[in-house]
Structure 1
Amino acid sequence: MSRLRRMPRQRQPARPVRRRSYDQFCAIARALDSVGDRWTLLIVRELLAGPRRYTDLHADLPGVSTDVLASRLKDMEHGGLAVRRRLPPPAAAAVYELTGRGRGLLPVLAALAGWGAPELAERRPTDAVRPHWFALPLLRAFDGLAHSGVVEVRLDEGEFHLRTDADPAGGEVYGYGPAERPDACLVLATDVAVALARGGRTLAETLRDDGAQVLGDGPLAAELRGDAPSRR
Protein backbone atom coordinates (compact mmCIF):
# COMPACT_ATOMS: atom_id res chain seq x y z
CA MET A 1 0.00 0.00 0.00
CA SER A 2 1.42 3.32 -0.99
CA ARG A 3 2.30 5.66 1.86
CA LEU A 4 2.15 8.67 -0.41
CA ARG A 5 -0.43 11.18 0.73
CA ARG A 6 -2.93 12.23 -1.83
CA MET A 7 -2.58 15.89 -2.56
CA PRO A 8 -5.82 17.85 -2.14
CA ARG A 9 -7.48 18.65 -5.42
CA GLN A 10 -7.30 22.32 -6.17
CA ARG A 11 -10.59 24.00 -6.83
CA GLN A 12 -10.86 25.69 -10.17
CA PRO A 13 -12.12 29.26 -10.02
CA ALA A 14 -15.74 29.49 -11.09
CA ARG A 15 -16.19 30.84 -14.55
CA PRO A 16 -18.37 33.93 -14.73
CA VAL A 17 -21.67 33.14 -16.36
CA ARG A 18 -22.26 35.31 -19.39
CA ARG A 19 -25.89 36.18 -19.76
CA ARG A 20 -27.39 35.89 -23.18
CA SER A 21 -27.50 39.16 -25.05
CA TYR A 22 -29.03 40.39 -28.25
CA ASP A 23 -25.70 42.12 -28.94
CA GLN A 24 -27.44 45.11 -30.48
CA PHE A 25 -26.59 48.74 -29.80
CA CYS A 26 -30.24 49.56 -29.17
CA ALA A 27 -32.02 50.77 -26.03
CA ILE A 28 -34.84 48.23 -26.42
CA ALA A 29 -32.40 45.37 -26.90
CA ARG A 30 -30.37 46.48 -23.88
CA ALA A 31 -33.56 46.60 -21.78
CA LEU A 32 -34.52 43.10 -22.90
CA ASP A 33 -31.03 41.90 -22.02
CA SER A 34 -31.94 42.81 -18.42
CA VAL A 35 -35.64 41.99 -18.13
CA GLY A 36 -36.50 39.93 -21.20
CA ASP A 37 -36.13 36.54 -19.53
CA ARG A 38 -39.29 34.65 -18.60
CA TRP A 39 -40.55 35.52 -15.08
CA THR A 40 -38.32 38.57 -14.52
CA LEU A 41 -41.02 41.22 -15.01
CA LEU A 42 -43.49 39.20 -12.93
CA ILE A 43 -40.95 39.17 -10.09
CA VAL A 44 -40.73 42.95 -10.44
CA ARG A 45 -44.54 43.07 -10.25
CA GLU A 46 -44.40 41.26 -6.91
CA LEU A 47 -41.58 43.41 -5.51
CA LEU A 48 -43.37 46.66 -6.37
CA ALA A 49 -45.40 45.92 -3.23
CA GLY A 50 -42.25 46.07 -1.10
CA PRO A 51 -39.65 43.63 0.26
CA ARG A 52 -40.60 39.96 0.03
CA ARG A 53 -39.15 36.68 1.21
CA TYR A 54 -38.17 34.02 -1.31
CA THR A 55 -40.92 31.69 -0.06
CA ASP A 56 -43.56 34.42 -0.47
CA LEU A 57 -42.38 35.16 -4.00
CA HIS A 58 -42.55 31.48 -4.88
CA ALA A 59 -46.08 31.21 -3.45
CA ASP A 60 -47.35 34.15 -5.52
CA LEU A 61 -45.65 33.08 -8.75
CA PRO A 62 -47.46 29.78 -9.43
CA GLY A 63 -45.71 27.81 -12.14
CA VAL A 64 -42.15 28.99 -11.53
CA SER A 65 -39.64 26.38 -10.36
CA THR A 66 -37.40 27.06 -7.38
CA ASP A 67 -34.31 26.87 -9.58
CA VAL A 68 -35.62 29.38 -12.11
CA LEU A 69 -36.79 31.78 -9.39
CA ALA A 70 -33.40 31.63 -7.65
CA SER A 71 -31.64 32.18 -10.99
CA ARG A 72 -33.79 35.16 -11.93
CA LEU A 73 -33.33 36.79 -8.52
CA LYS A 74 -29.58 36.35 -8.84
CA ASP A 75 -29.64 37.91 -12.30
CA MET A 76 -31.69 40.82 -10.96
CA GLU A 77 -29.14 41.38 -8.19
CA HIS A 78 -26.26 41.34 -10.66
CA GLY A 79 -28.15 43.67 -12.98
CA GLY A 80 -28.82 46.21 -10.24
CA LEU A 81 -32.60 45.71 -10.27
CA ALA A 82 -32.94 44.15 -6.81
CA VAL A 83 -30.99 43.62 -3.60
CA ARG A 84 -31.14 40.95 -0.95
CA ARG A 85 -30.93 41.99 2.68
CA ARG A 86 -31.69 40.54 6.09
CA LEU A 87 -34.41 42.04 8.27
CA PRO A 88 -33.43 42.91 11.85
CA PRO A 89 -34.67 40.75 14.79
CA PRO A 90 -37.16 39.50 15.64
CA ALA A 91 -37.92 38.83 11.96
CA ALA A 92 -34.33 37.88 11.02
CA ALA A 93 -35.45 36.84 7.55
CA ALA A 94 -33.82 37.50 4.20
CA VAL A 95 -35.91 39.56 1.79
CA TYR A 96 -35.56 40.85 -1.74
CA GLU A 97 -36.45 44.40 -2.68
CA LEU A 98 -36.20 46.57 -5.77
CA THR A 99 -33.55 49.21 -6.26
CA GLY A 100 -34.41 52.60 -7.68
CA ARG A 101 -33.65 51.24 -11.14
CA GLY A 102 -35.95 48.30 -10.52
CA ARG A 103 -38.76 50.59 -9.32
CA GLY A 104 -38.27 52.56 -12.51
CA LEU A 105 -39.95 49.67 -14.32
CA LEU A 106 -43.34 50.73 -12.90
CA PRO A 107 -44.37 52.70 -16.04
CA VAL A 108 -43.30 49.74 -18.19
CA LEU A 109 -45.46 47.31 -16.22
CA ALA A 110 -48.35 49.77 -16.07
CA ALA A 111 -48.21 50.09 -19.86
CA LEU A 112 -48.07 46.31 -20.24
CA ALA A 113 -51.05 45.97 -17.91
CA GLY A 114 -53.04 48.43 -20.00
CA TRP A 115 -52.03 46.70 -23.23
CA GLY A 116 -52.82 43.24 -21.89
CA ALA A 117 -56.06 44.08 -20.06
CA PRO A 118 -58.26 43.30 -23.12
CA GLU A 119 -57.00 39.70 -22.87
CA LEU A 120 -58.82 39.35 -19.53
CA ALA A 121 -62.15 38.87 -21.29
CA GLU A 122 -62.31 35.26 -20.17
CA ARG A 123 -60.65 33.49 -17.24
CA ARG A 124 -59.28 30.12 -18.29
CA PRO A 125 -59.76 27.09 -16.00
CA THR A 126 -55.99 26.86 -15.49
CA ASP A 127 -55.56 30.54 -14.59
CA ALA A 128 -54.33 31.33 -11.08
CA VAL A 129 -55.43 34.63 -9.55
CA ARG A 130 -54.23 36.81 -6.70
CA PRO A 131 -56.05 39.96 -5.61
CA HIS A 132 -52.99 42.20 -5.88
CA TRP A 133 -52.56 41.31 -9.57
CA PHE A 134 -55.34 43.84 -10.23
CA ALA A 135 -53.35 46.70 -8.67
CA LEU A 136 -51.42 47.83 -11.76
CA PRO A 137 -54.34 47.48 -14.21
CA LEU A 138 -56.54 49.53 -11.86
CA LEU A 139 -54.02 52.33 -11.28
CA ARG A 140 -55.10 54.26 -14.34
CA ALA A 141 -58.68 54.40 -12.99
CA PHE A 142 -57.35 56.82 -10.36
CA ASP A 143 -55.50 59.15 -12.75
CA GLY A 144 -56.16 62.86 -12.42
CA LEU A 145 -57.55 62.87 -8.89
CA ALA A 146 -57.34 66.11 -6.93
CA HIS A 147 -56.78 64.15 -3.71
CA SER A 148 -54.22 61.42 -3.18
CA GLY A 149 -53.91 58.65 -0.65
CA VAL A 150 -54.29 54.93 -0.04
CA VAL A 151 -57.25 53.04 -1.48
CA GLU A 152 -58.09 49.62 -0.09
CA VAL A 153 -59.64 47.43 -2.78
CA ARG A 154 -61.88 44.56 -1.67
CA LEU A 155 -62.51 41.82 -4.22
CA ASP A 156 -64.13 38.41 -4.03
CA GLU A 157 -60.67 36.82 -3.74
CA GLY A 158 -59.39 39.15 -1.03
CA GLU A 159 -57.97 42.61 -0.46
CA PHE A 160 -55.04 44.71 -1.54
CA HIS A 161 -54.28 48.41 -1.31
CA LEU A 162 -52.61 50.90 -3.60
CA ARG A 163 -51.47 54.50 -3.67
CA THR A 164 -53.23 56.82 -6.09
CA ASP A 165 -50.08 58.97 -6.33
CA ALA A 166 -47.75 56.08 -7.19
CA ASP A 167 -44.24 57.31 -7.92
CA PRO A 168 -41.56 54.97 -9.37
CA ALA A 169 -38.99 56.45 -7.00
CA GLY A 170 -41.29 56.62 -4.00
CA GLY A 171 -41.15 53.06 -2.75
CA GLU A 172 -44.17 50.78 -2.51
CA VAL A 173 -46.81 51.16 -5.21
CA TYR A 174 -49.31 48.75 -3.72
CA GLY A 175 -49.52 46.32 -0.83
CA TYR A 176 -50.97 42.94 0.08
CA GLY A 177 -54.06 42.66 2.20
CA PRO A 178 -56.01 45.45 3.92
CA ALA A 179 -54.41 48.85 4.49
CA GLU A 180 -53.68 49.92 8.05
CA ARG A 181 -55.36 53.33 7.61
CA PRO A 182 -56.93 53.59 4.16
CA ASP A 183 -58.23 56.93 2.92
CA ALA A 184 -60.96 55.10 1.01
CA CYS A 185 -62.20 51.54 0.46
CA LEU A 186 -63.39 50.39 -2.97
CA VAL A 187 -65.66 47.32 -2.80
CA LEU A 188 -66.44 45.56 -6.08
CA ALA A 189 -66.89 42.13 -7.63
CA THR A 190 -63.94 40.64 -9.49
CA ASP A 191 -65.70 40.70 -12.87
CA VAL A 192 -66.44 44.40 -12.33
CA ALA A 193 -62.75 44.98 -11.50
CA VAL A 194 -61.85 43.24 -14.77
CA ALA A 195 -64.17 45.55 -16.73
CA LEU A 196 -62.69 48.57 -14.98
CA ALA A 197 -59.14 47.37 -15.66
CA ARG A 198 -59.93 46.78 -19.34
CA GLY A 199 -60.99 50.39 -19.68
CA GLY A 200 -64.50 49.56 -20.74
CA ARG A 201 -65.94 51.39 -17.73
CA THR A 202 -64.94 54.52 -15.90
CA LEU A 203 -64.86 54.55 -12.12
CA ALA A 204 -67.93 56.81 -12.06
CA GLU A 205 -69.86 54.39 -14.29
CA THR A 206 -68.73 51.45 -12.20
CA LEU A 207 -70.01 53.08 -9.03
CA ARG A 208 -73.28 54.12 -10.67
CA ASP A 209 -74.19 50.98 -12.60
CA ASP A 210 -72.21 47.97 -11.37
CA GLY A 211 -72.90 47.80 -7.66
CA ALA A 212 -69.44 48.97 -6.59
CA GLN A 213 -69.10 51.00 -3.40
CA VAL A 214 -66.70 53.53 -1.99
CA LEU A 215 -66.46 53.58 1.80
CA GLY A 216 -64.85 56.33 3.86
CA ASP A 217 -65.42 59.87 5.06
CA GLY A 218 -62.27 61.66 3.89
CA PRO A 219 -61.78 63.90 0.84
CA LEU A 220 -60.39 61.09 -1.35
CA ALA A 221 -63.41 58.86 -0.66
CA ALA A 222 -65.74 61.79 -1.35
CA GLU A 223 -64.03 62.54 -4.64
CA LEU A 224 -64.17 58.89 -5.74
CA ARG A 225 -67.91 58.91 -5.05
CA GLY A 226 -68.29 62.08 -7.08
CA ASP A 227 -69.03 64.29 -4.10
CA ALA A 228 -66.00 66.54 -4.76
CA PRO A 229 -64.70 68.14 -7.96
CA SER A 230 -61.63 66.58 -9.57
CA ARG A 231 -59.10 67.87 -12.09
CA ARG A 232 -60.56 65.80 -14.92
Structure 2
Amino acid sequence: MTNHVQINQQGPVVKIHLNRPEKKNALTVEMYTAIADAIETANADTSVRAVFFSGEGESFCAGNDLQDFMARPPTGPDSPVLRFLKTLRESDVALIAAVQGKAVGVGATMLLHTDHVVLTPDAELHFNFIKMALVPEAASSMLLPQYVGRQRAAEILMTGHPVLADEALATGLAAHVVSPKDAMPTALAFADKISTLAPAALRETKQLMQRPPEDLAARMHAENLMFMQRLGSPEFAEAVTAFMQKRPPNFG
Protein backbone atom coordinates (compact mmCIF):
# COMPACT_ATOMS: atom_id res chain seq x y z
CA MET A 1 0.00 0.00 0.00
CA THR A 2 1.09 3.60 -0.56
CA ASN A 3 -0.01 6.74 1.23
CA HIS A 4 -1.10 8.04 -2.19
CA VAL A 5 -3.85 5.40 -2.17
CA GLN A 6 -6.09 5.22 0.88
CA ILE A 7 -7.97 1.94 1.22
CA ASN A 8 -10.53 1.09 3.85
CA GLN A 9 -13.47 -1.26 4.10
CA GLN A 10 -16.76 -0.16 5.55
CA GLY A 11 -18.99 -3.19 5.78
CA PRO A 12 -19.61 -4.57 2.30
CA VAL A 13 -17.90 -1.64 0.52
CA VAL A 14 -14.16 -1.28 -0.10
CA LYS A 15 -13.21 2.36 -0.63
CA ILE A 16 -10.18 3.24 -2.77
CA HIS A 17 -9.30 6.93 -2.56
CA LEU A 18 -6.59 8.40 -4.77
CA ASN A 19 -4.76 10.90 -2.58
CA ARG A 20 -2.13 12.66 -4.66
CA PRO A 21 -3.85 15.97 -5.40
CA GLU A 22 -0.61 17.87 -6.02
CA LYS A 23 -0.14 15.64 -9.09
CA LYS A 24 -3.87 15.47 -9.92
CA ASN A 25 -3.82 11.86 -8.69
CA ALA A 26 -1.50 10.70 -11.47
CA LEU A 27 -0.77 7.00 -10.97
CA THR A 28 2.60 5.46 -10.19
CA VAL A 29 3.68 1.82 -10.21
CA GLU A 30 3.21 1.65 -6.44
CA MET A 31 -0.31 3.09 -6.72
CA TYR A 32 -1.28 0.59 -9.41
CA THR A 33 -0.01 -2.23 -7.22
CA ALA A 34 -1.93 -1.03 -4.17
CA ILE A 35 -5.17 -0.69 -6.14
CA ALA A 36 -4.82 -4.07 -7.85
CA ASP A 37 -4.11 -5.73 -4.48
CA ALA A 38 -7.21 -4.11 -3.00
CA ILE A 39 -9.49 -5.22 -5.85
CA GLU A 40 -8.16 -8.79 -5.71
CA THR A 41 -8.70 -8.88 -1.95
CA ALA A 42 -12.23 -7.55 -2.38
CA ASN A 43 -13.03 -10.21 -4.97
CA ALA A 44 -11.79 -12.92 -2.62
CA ASP A 45 -13.99 -11.64 0.23
CA THR A 46 -17.53 -12.94 -0.27
CA SER A 47 -18.91 -10.28 2.09
CA VAL A 48 -17.84 -7.46 -0.26
CA ARG A 49 -20.52 -6.13 -2.62
CA ALA A 50 -18.71 -3.14 -4.16
CA VAL A 51 -15.43 -1.31 -4.66
CA PHE A 52 -15.75 2.49 -4.64
CA PHE A 53 -13.23 4.81 -6.34
CA SER A 54 -12.75 8.49 -5.59
CA GLY A 55 -10.02 11.09 -5.98
CA GLU A 56 -8.76 13.92 -3.81
CA GLY A 57 -8.71 17.50 -5.04
CA GLU A 58 -9.86 19.11 -8.28
CA SER A 59 -9.30 16.12 -10.57
CA PHE A 60 -10.25 12.47 -10.32
CA CYS A 61 -7.13 11.09 -12.03
CA ALA A 62 -4.61 12.54 -14.49
CA GLY A 63 -3.67 9.09 -15.81
CA ASN A 64 -0.10 7.87 -15.63
CA ASP A 65 2.62 9.79 -13.87
CA LEU A 66 4.65 10.34 -17.04
CA GLN A 67 8.07 10.41 -15.41
CA ASP A 68 7.35 7.23 -13.48
CA PHE A 69 5.81 5.60 -16.55
CA MET A 70 8.83 6.41 -18.72
CA ALA A 71 11.24 5.16 -16.06
CA ARG A 72 9.28 1.95 -15.42
CA PRO A 73 7.13 1.19 -18.49
CA PRO A 74 4.99 -1.96 -18.68
CA THR A 75 6.94 -4.86 -20.14
CA GLY A 76 4.50 -7.74 -19.79
CA PRO A 77 1.18 -8.92 -18.37
CA ASP A 78 2.51 -8.91 -14.80
CA SER A 79 3.42 -5.21 -14.98
CA PRO A 80 1.49 -3.24 -12.35
CA VAL A 81 -0.56 -1.17 -14.81
CA LEU A 82 -1.59 -4.23 -16.84
CA ARG A 83 -2.33 -6.17 -13.66
CA PHE A 84 -4.55 -3.26 -12.54
CA LEU A 85 -6.47 -3.34 -15.83
CA LYS A 86 -6.83 -7.11 -15.55
CA THR A 87 -8.32 -6.82 -12.06
CA LEU A 88 -10.86 -4.32 -13.38
CA ARG A 89 -11.84 -6.62 -16.24
CA GLU A 90 -12.09 -9.70 -14.04
CA SER A 91 -13.74 -8.14 -11.00
CA ASP A 92 -17.06 -9.73 -10.15
CA VAL A 93 -17.95 -7.21 -7.45
CA ALA A 94 -19.61 -3.96 -8.47
CA LEU A 95 -17.23 -1.12 -9.31
CA ILE A 96 -18.43 2.40 -8.49
CA ALA A 97 -16.78 5.79 -9.07
CA ALA A 98 -17.39 9.41 -8.13
CA VAL A 99 -15.55 11.60 -10.63
CA GLN A 100 -14.81 15.31 -10.49
CA GLY A 101 -12.72 17.42 -12.84
CA LYS A 102 -10.50 15.63 -15.32
CA ALA A 103 -10.21 11.89 -15.80
CA VAL A 104 -7.36 11.41 -18.25
CA GLY A 105 -6.00 8.33 -20.02
CA VAL A 106 -6.33 5.33 -17.74
CA GLY A 107 -8.35 7.56 -15.42
CA ALA A 108 -10.99 7.63 -18.16
CA THR A 109 -10.67 4.10 -19.57
CA MET A 110 -11.08 2.54 -16.13
CA LEU A 111 -14.57 4.06 -16.04
CA LEU A 112 -15.58 1.94 -19.04
CA HIS A 113 -15.22 -1.06 -16.70
CA THR A 114 -17.13 0.60 -13.87
CA ASP A 115 -20.75 -0.34 -13.17
CA HIS A 116 -21.93 2.96 -11.70
CA VAL A 117 -20.28 6.31 -12.46
CA VAL A 118 -21.36 9.61 -10.93
CA LEU A 119 -19.90 12.80 -12.43
CA THR A 120 -19.81 16.41 -11.33
CA PRO A 121 -20.80 19.02 -13.95
CA ASP A 122 -17.15 19.98 -14.52
CA ALA A 123 -16.06 16.40 -15.22
CA GLU A 124 -14.15 15.73 -18.44
CA LEU A 125 -13.16 12.29 -19.75
CA HIS A 126 -9.98 12.50 -21.83
CA PHE A 127 -9.15 9.49 -24.02
CA ASN A 128 -6.20 11.43 -25.39
CA PHE A 129 -3.75 8.65 -26.27
CA ILE A 130 -3.35 9.93 -29.82
CA LYS A 131 -1.92 13.20 -28.47
CA MET A 132 0.94 11.17 -27.01
CA ALA A 133 1.35 9.15 -30.23
CA LEU A 134 -0.16 6.13 -28.46
CA VAL A 135 -3.16 3.89 -29.10
CA PRO A 136 -6.18 3.25 -26.84
CA GLU A 137 -5.89 0.77 -23.98
CA ALA A 138 -8.11 -1.13 -21.54
CA ALA A 139 -10.29 -2.28 -24.49
CA SER A 140 -11.48 1.31 -24.94
CA SER A 141 -11.25 0.92 -28.72
CA MET A 142 -14.08 -1.63 -28.40
CA LEU A 143 -16.03 -0.34 -25.40
CA LEU A 144 -16.21 3.36 -26.28
CA PRO A 145 -17.87 2.79 -29.70
CA GLN A 146 -20.44 0.60 -27.93
CA TYR A 147 -21.40 3.59 -25.79
CA VAL A 148 -21.16 6.56 -28.14
CA GLY A 149 -21.22 4.98 -31.63
CA ARG A 150 -18.40 4.51 -34.09
CA GLN A 151 -18.45 8.03 -35.57
CA ARG A 152 -18.26 9.83 -32.23
CA ALA A 153 -15.74 7.32 -30.87
CA ALA A 154 -13.53 7.95 -33.89
CA GLU A 155 -13.62 11.68 -33.19
CA ILE A 156 -12.77 11.10 -29.53
CA LEU A 157 -10.01 8.51 -30.03
CA MET A 158 -8.51 9.95 -33.20
CA THR A 159 -8.38 13.58 -32.01
CA GLY A 160 -8.32 13.28 -28.22
CA HIS A 161 -11.45 15.44 -27.95
CA PRO A 162 -12.80 15.20 -24.38
CA VAL A 163 -16.18 13.82 -23.37
CA LEU A 164 -17.96 16.31 -21.14
CA ALA A 165 -20.34 15.39 -18.34
CA ASP A 166 -23.59 15.98 -20.23
CA GLU A 167 -22.52 13.79 -23.15
CA ALA A 168 -21.28 11.09 -20.78
CA LEU A 169 -24.71 11.06 -19.13
CA ALA A 170 -26.59 11.05 -22.44
CA THR A 171 -24.56 8.16 -23.87
CA GLY A 172 -24.60 5.97 -20.78
CA LEU A 173 -20.98 6.53 -19.78
CA ALA A 174 -22.33 7.88 -16.48
CA ALA A 175 -25.40 7.19 -14.38
CA HIS A 176 -25.74 10.66 -12.84
CA VAL A 177 -24.36 14.19 -13.03
CA VAL A 178 -24.73 15.95 -9.69
CA SER A 179 -23.23 18.82 -7.73
CA PRO A 180 -19.76 18.30 -6.23
CA LYS A 181 -21.18 18.01 -2.71
CA ASP A 182 -23.59 15.30 -3.85
CA ALA A 183 -21.22 13.20 -5.99
CA MET A 184 -19.83 10.88 -3.32
CA PRO A 185 -23.15 10.47 -1.45
CA THR A 186 -24.95 9.67 -4.72
CA ALA A 187 -22.35 7.09 -5.73
CA LEU A 188 -22.31 5.53 -2.28
CA ALA A 189 -26.11 5.36 -2.28
CA PHE A 190 -25.83 2.80 -5.08
CA ALA A 191 -23.41 0.78 -2.95
CA ASP A 192 -25.81 0.98 -0.01
CA LYS A 193 -28.69 -0.15 -2.22
CA ILE A 194 -26.94 -3.29 -3.44
CA SER A 195 -25.33 -4.05 -0.07
CA THR A 196 -28.59 -5.56 1.18
CA LEU A 197 -28.98 -7.85 -1.84
CA ALA A 198 -27.84 -11.45 -2.29
CA PRO A 199 -24.04 -11.28 -2.76
CA ALA A 200 -23.60 -14.40 -4.88
CA ALA A 201 -26.50 -13.44 -7.14
CA LEU A 202 -24.97 -9.99 -7.59
CA ARG A 203 -21.63 -11.45 -8.59
CA GLU A 204 -23.19 -13.89 -11.01
CA THR A 205 -25.27 -11.09 -12.55
CA LYS A 206 -22.08 -9.15 -13.21
CA GLN A 207 -20.38 -12.25 -14.63
CA LEU A 208 -23.23 -12.56 -17.14
CA MET A 209 -22.94 -8.89 -18.08
CA GLN A 210 -19.19 -9.26 -18.62
CA ARG A 211 -19.53 -12.13 -21.09
CA PRO A 212 -18.43 -11.23 -24.63
CA PRO A 213 -21.11 -10.61 -27.25
CA GLU A 214 -22.74 -13.84 -28.38
CA ASP A 215 -25.93 -14.98 -30.03
CA LEU A 216 -29.16 -14.96 -28.05
CA ALA A 217 -29.33 -18.73 -27.71
CA ALA A 218 -25.85 -18.91 -26.12
CA ARG A 219 -26.64 -16.10 -23.70
CA MET A 220 -30.00 -17.58 -22.76
CA HIS A 221 -28.31 -20.95 -22.17
CA ALA A 222 -25.76 -19.35 -19.83
CA GLU A 223 -28.50 -17.50 -17.97
CA ASN A 224 -30.62 -20.64 -17.68
CA LEU A 225 -27.75 -22.59 -16.12
CA MET A 226 -27.08 -19.89 -13.53
CA PHE A 227 -30.80 -19.40 -12.92
CA MET A 228 -31.36 -23.09 -12.16
CA GLN A 229 -28.34 -23.12 -9.84
CA ARG A 230 -29.73 -20.08 -8.06
CA LEU A 231 -33.00 -21.93 -7.39
CA GLY A 232 -31.08 -24.32 -5.14
CA SER A 233 -29.13 -21.64 -3.30
CA PRO A 234 -29.57 -20.61 0.35
CA GLU A 235 -29.97 -17.03 -0.88
CA PHE A 236 -33.04 -17.94 -2.92
CA ALA A 237 -34.50 -19.88 0.01
CA GLU A 238 -34.02 -16.84 2.26
CA ALA A 239 -35.57 -14.51 -0.34
CA VAL A 240 -38.67 -16.70 -0.64
CA THR A 241 -39.00 -17.11 3.12
CA ALA A 242 -38.67 -13.37 3.66
CA PHE A 243 -41.28 -12.69 0.99
CA MET A 244 -43.72 -15.13 2.55
CA GLN A 245 -43.09 -13.67 6.01
CA LYS A 246 -43.38 -10.09 4.68
CA ARG A 247 -39.98 -9.02 5.99
CA PRO A 248 -36.73 -7.83 4.43
CA PRO A 249 -34.39 -10.70 3.50
CA ASN A 250 -31.22 -11.15 5.52
CA PHE A 251 -28.28 -12.21 3.37
CA GLY A 252 -25.65 -11.64 6.04
Q: TM-score range by the shorter chain?
A: under 0.3
TM-score (normalised: structure 1): 0.26
From the CA coordinates, give the structure whose radius of gyration is larger.
Answer: 1
TM-score (normalised: structure 2): 0.25
